[in-house]
């Protein structure tokens, strides 16, 4: 049996159905090119009959994408098929994907058809699609709840008609792995011409088993897997392709199959799709989540520092991820603290590990997550966290006009001194306040990330602002929390300014120590 598994991506069709707002042609093209660059074999780029916008995006993509084969969806309706072919007419090679329900439930309650009528509709539609291309895929919608005798009968008939790919969808995420495996095995055993077609599966994640079902299908003989990047899609989503792809790579010893995927493009493509679709990736998401290669437990961190294979079954660089994190929390051990100090260029003789670790645990219990610059302050400045911060907000005022200028005034306590500054900008009230603060501190800060998160509901809900800034090629995190989002934005920036001030004190102290040692 062929050892290659074809990867069929339906992010632009099934995935887009789950989005709150439709994607623009430009956004779809960007996603398609990213998928092509990742080595996706077949990209289902849309459902052209559904809207003029979808037709246009399919048409534009068909002009640009060359390495991946493009595919469009169509019902068993002549116009659907004709429009799908027309939309892809600029592509040298394309696939038409036809679907029709085959389960008794769907036939009776949705289509009001009997099984013989379903077969006639399917065969007639396939013949029409063959006028445009010999690459036809047929999906037996709700196949996992279709009578096995009926499923075998229609699959045999469709292959005889000229269908090259038969898709067995678990349309509502109903089946479990051994059940889907049995369905695929039955098809191979009972359909005499099964070797003339590729068997595909399209699994949904309603019971959280889409990836498991897809793996079981591969082991039973399926050689095409359909899904989406990050698992986005209807209801609970689709098979997450990045998980399937890496499972095939990591467990090649058992699965004994391969793909054409460029694995180092996975992380980049995942992030692009997340941003364009406005679908954040959960931190604990397998393969591409921010915690997928992060370690917090002291035992795990110590094991990873000794040998990454102790707690990582794949190399982060294999998906194109360069930065790997050891989270500094109250669960972290001495090994992680020492690692961060070493990464910053400090020797063990430069600081007292016992004192540093004790201070670190106290700060971690209070702050939650500690960063490398916090360790520097603890090690060299002996800053007591309960003492007053150097920068403290005394007063701020903002005036803002819709589509106009925003003006902010800030009164800031800097140690024993008081400074008042104003700034005007067309980029909104938060930017105006940040500019005013920068005029006081004179820190060359670059704001890299601004995130607003609602905490609670109603008028008393809190707005948490998380920011990430760059200062002298180093990144600093800040958090602010208040019912007023402008106030929480100010708090986040002052949080950062105080951290930078402490780091600057560390640097001054280290310079003085070097002079003394000389």
Q: What digits encode the pLDDT tens for the residues 5-57?
A: 999 999 999 998 888 778 999 999 999 999 999 999 999 999 999 999 999 99
Q: According to CATH, what is the number of the domain 391-511?
A: 3.30.160.270
The answer to whether 97 is annotated as binding is no
For domain 6-277, the CATH superfamily is: Aldolase class I (3.20.20.70)
| CA pair distance 293, 206, nearest whole angstrom | 26
Whole-prediction pTM: 0.76
Q: What digits encode the pLDDT tens for the residues 298-343?
A: 777 767 677 777 877 888 889 998 766 777 888 888 888 888 788 7
Average pLDDT of span 402-414: 88
Residues near 515 by Cβ (< 8 Å), separated by ≥ 6? none
Predicted confidence at residue 333, as pLDDT, reads 83
CB atoms within 10 A of CB 518: 5
Average pLDDT of span 210-217: 98
The answer to whether 238 is annotated as binding is yes
Predicted confidence at residue 50, as pLDDT, reads 94
CB atoms within 10 A of CB 45: 34
For the cut 70, the answer to whether the pLDDT of residue 386 exceeds it is no
The answer to whether 204 is annotated as binding is yes
Question: Taking the CA atoms of the chain, what radius of gyration do you get in angstroms?
Answer: 29
Please tell me the number of Cα atoms within 13 Å of 423 on its side-chain side: 19
For the cut 50, the answer to whether the pLDDT of residue 383 exceeds it is no
Which strands form 406-414's sheet, in the order they lie side by side? Answer: 391-400, 406-414, 417-425
Mean pLDDT value across the chain: 89
Which helix (H) or strand (E) segment is 377 a member of? helix 372-380
At residue 371 the predicted structure's pLDDT band, cuts being 50, 70 and 90, is: confident
417, 432 contact by CB (below 8 A): no
Average pLDDT of span 196-210: 97
| CA pair distance 114, 476, nearest whole angstrom | 65
Q: Where are the domains of the chain?
A: 6-277, 298-380, 391-511
CB atoms within 10 A of CB 293: 22
Residue 24 carries which DSSP code?
A: P
Chain position carrying tokens 């002291």: 298
At residue 387 the predicted structure's pLDDT band, cuts being 50, 70 and 90, is: low
Predicted confidence at residue 221, as pLDDT, reads 97
| CA pair distance 226, 204, nearest whole angstrom | 10
Predicted confidence at residue 384, as pLDDT, reads 45
| Phi, psi values for residue 434, rounded to 5° | -65, -40
**Which region among 43-47, 74-78, 420-424 has the lowest average model confidence (pLDDT)?**
420-424
Q: What digits encode the pLDDT tens for the residues 136-148?
A: 999 999 999 999 9
The answer to whether 202 is annotated as binding is yes
């Amino acid at each position: 049996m062929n050892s290659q598994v074809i990867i069929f991506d339906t992010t632009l069709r099934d995935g887009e159905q789950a989005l709150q707002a439709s994607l623009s042609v430009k956004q779809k093209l960007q996603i398609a090119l990213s998928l092509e660059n990742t080595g996706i074999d077949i990209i289902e780029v849309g459902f052209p009959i559904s809207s003029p916008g979808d037709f246009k995006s399919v048409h534009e993509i068909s002009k640009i994408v060359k390495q991946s084969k493009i595919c469009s969806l169509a019902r068993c309706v002549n116009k659907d098929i004709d429009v799908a072919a027309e939309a892809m007419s600029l592509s040298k090679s394309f696939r038409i994907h036809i679907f029709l329900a085959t389960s008794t439930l769907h036939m009776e309650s949705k289509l009001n058809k009997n099984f013989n009528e379903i077969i006639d509709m399917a065969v007639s539609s396939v013949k029409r699609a063959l006028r445009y291309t010999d690459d036809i895929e047929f999906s037996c919608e709700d196949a996992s709840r279709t009578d096995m005798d009926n499923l075998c009968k229609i699959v045999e008939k469709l292959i005889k008609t000229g269908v090259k790919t038969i898709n067995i969808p678990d349309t509502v995420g109903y089946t479990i792995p051994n059940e889907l495996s049995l369905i695929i095995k039955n098809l191979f055993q009972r359909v005499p011409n099964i070797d003339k077609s590729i068997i595909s599966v399209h699994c949904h994640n309603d019971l959280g088993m889409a990836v498991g079902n897809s793996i079981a299908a591969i082991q039973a003989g399926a050689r095409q897997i359909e899904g989406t990047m990050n698992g986005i899609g209807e209801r609970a989503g689709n098979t997450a392709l990045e998980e399937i792809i890496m499972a095939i790579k990591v467990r090649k010893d058992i699965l004994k199959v391969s793909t054409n995927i460029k694995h180092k493009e996975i992380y980049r493509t995942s992030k692009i799709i997340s941003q364009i679709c406005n679908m954040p990736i959960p931190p604990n998401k397998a393969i591409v989540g921010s915690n997928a290669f992060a370690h917090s437990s002291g035992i795990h961190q110590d094991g990873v520092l000794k040998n990454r294979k102790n707690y990582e079954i794949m190399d982060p660089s294999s998906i194109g991820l360069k930065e790997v994190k050891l989270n500094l929390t109250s669960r972290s051990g001495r090994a992680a603290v020492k690692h961060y100090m070493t990464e910053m260029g400090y020797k063990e003789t430069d600081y007292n590990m016992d004192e540093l670790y004790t201070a670190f645990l106290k700060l971690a219990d209070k702050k939650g997550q500690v960063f490398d610059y916090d360790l520097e302050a603890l090690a060299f400045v002996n800053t007591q966290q309960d003492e007053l911060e150097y920068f403290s907000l005394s007063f701020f005022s903002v005036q803002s006009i819709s589509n106009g200028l925003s003006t902010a005034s800030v009164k800031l306590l800097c140690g024993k001194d008081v400074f008042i500054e104003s700034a005007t900008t067309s980029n909104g009230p938060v930017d105006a306040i940040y500019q005013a603060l920068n005029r006081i501190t004179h820190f060359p800060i670059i704001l890299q990330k601004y995130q607003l998160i609602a905490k609670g509901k109603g008028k008393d809900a809190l707005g948490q602002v998380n920011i990430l800034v760059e200062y002298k090629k180093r990144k600093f995190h800040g958090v602010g929390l208040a019912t007023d989002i402008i106030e929480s934005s100010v708090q986040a920036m002052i949080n950062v300014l105080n951290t930078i001030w402490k780091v600057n004190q560390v640097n001054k102290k280290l310079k003085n120590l070097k002079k003394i040692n000389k």
